[in-house]
Every structure is written in structure tokens, then in C-alpha cells.
Chain A
């Protein structure tokens, strides 16, 4: 079953009088429980495509179907609800909230989804344990290593049990050993927990691991 499908997805940015086509008529088909990589050079439109699929950006034209529902025209409130309940984000720079502990960062999406505090705490602890950070629950991001921060970000992305996980250059800030650990974690999520993982990356090792790879250049998918 397709979890995400894009139909002629286009995103154009206006820059003064000129316009830049960041994503140009992209058609993606992402099956459930697959590991998908989107590969391309810098500025090729990977992040824009991920933002469109993750509903943090609106297409100029075309459609995004999420579980067969056209979500590209949803109101902002609805898009946020879909993101909160169905999509987990992992960023290159982790984007953890620095005033919160690792545990609180993971609890955050659950708090926004109005899950009871006790249940939040239990699940957040379990998720952090799963990513190997059971000793770091009360540490703030500045007290964690880069790899640990990305693990917290992964735990946070899993907080509301999303069906789709979008990772934008998840290993970009990490050394190769730590990066491999993170990739293994993402792969396990896909293989063992049957989650769909879409990774935008330069990393060739990821391409080798992926079930499907899309090669993108100048906003257009040139190879699947």
C-alpha cells in the first residue's frame, strides 16, 4: 500500500522578479514499511521535496497524497494535526529544544497531542532506552554528544508512533562511526517496526541500504 504519493508536485520560489523552481513535477510513490533515500547534490531540491511530503511547505502545483488522502490543500491547522499524529521529523542539526532535557524533548510531541503526563513519561523513557540513552534522560542537549543528540531527535520523531519518518541529512553533522550507528537505528525502525523511512542524503552508504532510491537534480527526479 502506498503511504505517500506525489502527483506532478511543483514548488516555485519567487525571488524578486525571477522565480526559482525548487521541485519540478515530481512523482513519487512510497510504499509502506520501505526505506527510501532521496539523493542529489546540494541545492537539488531534496529538502524542499521532504518539506512538501512532510507538509511543512505547500506546493505551487501538484498534489501530495498521504494514505490516499489529498493533504496538499489542507488548512494549516489540519496539516499540523497530520504532522503531529502521522509524521516524525529528524533534522540534520537535530533541532532539539535546548532548555528541555532529553526526556522532555521526547515528551514534547506527546504533550502537544494531549497525552497524559504519566503515559508521556513512560513512553519517552522507553524510546530513549531503545536508542541507548537510558542513562541520559535528564541531560540537556548541550550535555550530549552529537550522536546522542541525533538519537534523542530519533526518539522524539517516534514519540507519537508515526507511520512516516522523514530524515533530512540525519548523518550530515556526525562522524562516520556515529553516522553508521544512526543509520542502523533508522533501518531497524523500518525493518523491525515496519515504519516508512524517507531519508534525504548525500551518504552513499545509505543508498546501498535503501529499498528505493530517488535521484534528484535541479528539482526533477531523474532516476528511481
Chain B
């Protein structure tokens, strides 16, 4: 009956469903896109989380990696090693946004990391390689690298493939087997190769150091590094989190604000449509009342109708929003759409979909409360008399 009532006013119902679809589509697209990038940013701090990140003063740091700023001469490593409380120093060269096959990416999704071969573990932990792979040899002439699985899928890289970065041919000797969004888009190579590729004229430069402090002395060691060596910035995991926390909370607040506003507008839309429907069907509700329908049955009918509108709008919105998110991600990163489709639930998580659908149902149900009360409280005799 409820569906029949909605279909009786096809244009109005369709427009209302369309309104909700658009709202949910925006919510899904904005929400999924921002949550994907914020979760990647959060994930970055899993790297080196007990260690200190040392970069040149003025570098822009996003969690565990510098995304821009100055480079450091390699002799700084020895100066840092001499600071009291430092147990280990791992120099690294990290670049975001390099391109393979000259493809332009609006969002830097690829990461290239140079690290001394004996120190892989500090970056990748116990991440394994896919079968047939091995870690690059220490021989700097070999020009061997390992690639992340997402890059490998995108460019059909297998063990033995050659990739070209800045006119240098590098051989893939292993593919990482990892769900990490950062490592999935990484090319990892020996530090000497990275220096050779990126700084052929200054082959001793690095742009970050990971410093392992003595236990419980991270903050003190970071302060000592900054005090003892000019031109360096030493950041503990807490400090790195503090840099990015306001940005992440701003993104979340905006996201929440947009979501609340769109849901509120949807609620008003459903309420208006429901009130119009109710006012046109006063006689139907009065008839139901005259027959003996309890008020809660009439209340339920209206709520079911508004919830059905929410259900259709929500499902359509999630569907279109998910496809929109994939298109948007593909457009900004230039990663083929097919790869995103393969990782559909990685881009828009099922929990997020369920959360949005549930919110839409709640919103449309709440939107129906006032019209439902009006319908249930209809003055039967007056309506039947006036609308005869």
C-alpha cells in the first residue's frame, strides 16, 4: 500500500528520491574520498612510530615523510650519530609524485624510497615479497628495485620487468605483498641507486633520517639533535601527529558539516513531500480512522512511506556516489579505473556504505514524524464532512 501511494505520485516521489540521491551521492563521494586520504595520512605514522624523523629545517612533513623542502648532505648523518642517546641512524631519500611513463598525476600517489639495503626492515617491517621476488642486491651497479603491488598491477610489472625513472632503467626484482596504501604505491631501492637517479650531480644527498633513540628518550634526543646541529628539524611521532592533527580534524569537521547540512536538507525535502502527500490524502486517512485503524497504524504507514523514499534515494545515492568516487580517484591519480573497481571496498568501505544508508533511513524516518502525527491525529468526522 505504501509503495502504491508513492507510485501514485510518481513525479513528486521521483523528484524527492532524486534530491536524496544527490545528497547521498555528495556525502559518499566527499566522505569516501576524504576518509581514504586521511586514513592514508594516518597510516603513514605507522612507519617509524617509535623513532625520530630528522629533516632539513623548512621541510614540509606529512606524518612519516617529507613531501617537500630541503635536502641534507650525507655527512650530517655522522653528526646526528654523535648526539647522546642516538642508537641508530638510517638515511633515506624519499620522493613523492614521480611519474612513470610521463603520466601526470594531480594527487601524488607514487612514492619512491631509497634506503640502505641492510635497513629495509625499518621501513617495511616484516612485509613479505610475492613469490619469485627477492630484495635488491647491495651492488649499486645492479640498479634493482622492488615495487608495490598497486604499481605492479597498474603497469603490469613482474619480476624481471624494467621501469624507467628519469631516464634510468631499473629492474624489478620483487613485488611487495602488502595491503599498506603507502607501500602499495612505492618503489623501494637501495639508497645509492636513489641518489644516483635523483641527484646525479650530488650523489651524497639525502632528505630524511630515521633516528632510533634509546628507549624512553625520544623527546630528549630530538631536542638534542635540534640544539646540537643547526638547520635540522627532529620530530618525534607525537610531534608529527600534532602537525597533521589540526588538518585532519579540520577535514573531518568540514566533512561532518557538509554531511549534516545535506542530511538536514534531505530531511526538509522529505518532510515537505510527506506533508503534501498527507494533505492530499486526508480523506484516505480519515477513512482508515473511520474503519477503525489505530493511530499507530496510520503513523506507521506515513513513516514507512518516508523511509521507503530514503531507502531508494540512499541506495541510488550510494551506488552513484561510489562510482563517482572511483571516477574521481582515477581522475586525480591517473590510476586506471579498473584497478579502483578491483579494490572497490578499499575505496568506499562497506561499513561507510552501511553507515550512510542507515543515516539516510533514520533521517527520512525522522522527516516523516511530523506528517505522520498530522495524519494520525486527523479529525475523522470533520474531514469526511468537508471533503465529501
Contacts and interface: CB of A to CB of B under 8 A. Distances in A.
A89 interface: yes
Given A100-B4, A104-B1, A109 B388 contact: no
Contact of A99 (B4, B292, B385): B4
Interface in A20-64: 47-48, 51, 54, 56-57
A54 B290 contact: yes
Interface string A110-154: 001100000000000000000000000000000000000000000
Interface stretch (B92-100, B197-205, B293-301, B307-315): B293-301
B74 interface: no
Interface residues of A, number: 31
B381 interface: yes
A183 interface: no
B380 A56 contact: yes
Interface stretch (A77-85, A191-199, A215-223): A77-85
Interface stretch (A65-73, A90-98, A206-214): A90-98
Contact of A80 (B7, B287, B294, B385): B294
A93 B289 CA distance: 16
A108 interface: yes
A147 to B, nearest CB: 18
A188 interface: no
B287 A84 contact: no
B284 interface: yes
Interface residues of B, number: 23
Interface string B280-294: 000110111111111
B292 A84 contact: yes
Nearest to B4: A99
Contacts of A84: 291-293
A85 B290 CA distance: 12
Contact of A93 (B8, B297, B388): B388
A95 B292 contact: no
Contacts of B290: 54, 56, 83, 89, 95
A112 B8 contact: no
Interface in B287-346: 287-295, 297
A76 B286 CA distance: 14
A87 to B, nearest CB: 8
A83 B287 CA distance: 12
Contacts of A48: 381, 385
Contacts of A113: 292
Nearest to A87: B292
Contacts of B8: 98-99
A97 B292 contact: no
Question: Which one of A47, A56, A83 has the greatest number of beta carbons of chain B within 10 Å?
Answer: A56
Contact of B384 (A56, A77, A83, A160): A56
B169 interface: no
A81 B1 contact: no
A92 B295 CA distance: 24
B298 to A, nearest CB: 10
Contacts of B1: 97, 99-100, 104
Nearest to B379: A57
A95 B294 contact: no
B166 to A, nearest CB: 69
Contacts of A91: 287, 384, 388
B380 to A, nearest CB: 4
Given A47-B385, A91-B384, A104-B1, A97 B294 contact: no
B5 interface: yes
A190 to B, nearest CB: 21
B381 A80 contact: no
Interface in B16-65: none
A92 to B, nearest CB: 6
Contacts of A89: 290-291
Given A56-B380, A56-B381, A57-B381, A97 B295 contact: no
A97 B2 CA distance: 11
A89 B286 CA distance: 12
A77 B294 contact: yes
Nearest to A159: B291
Nearest to B8: A99
Nearest to B287: A95
A99 B293 contact: no
24 contacts: A48-B385, A51-B380, A51-B385, A56-B289, A56-B290, A56-B380, A56-B384, A57-B380, A77-B295, A80-B289, A80-B293, A80-B294, A81-B292, A91-B384, A91-B388, A93-B388, A95-B286, A95-B287, A97-B1, A97-B288, A99-B4, A99-B8, A100-B1, A112-B294
In the complex, the 8 A-B pairs of residues with the closest C-beta atoms, listed nearest first: A84-B292, A99-B4, A83-B292, A57-B381, A95-B287, A51-B381, A56-B380, A56-B381
Given A81-B292, A156-B291, 18 more contacts: A47-B385, A56-B290, A56-B380, A77-B294, A80-B294, A81-B294, A83-B291, A84-B293, A89-B290, A91-B384, A95-B283, A95-B286, A97-B288, A99-B8, A104-B1, A109-B291, A112-B288, A113-B292
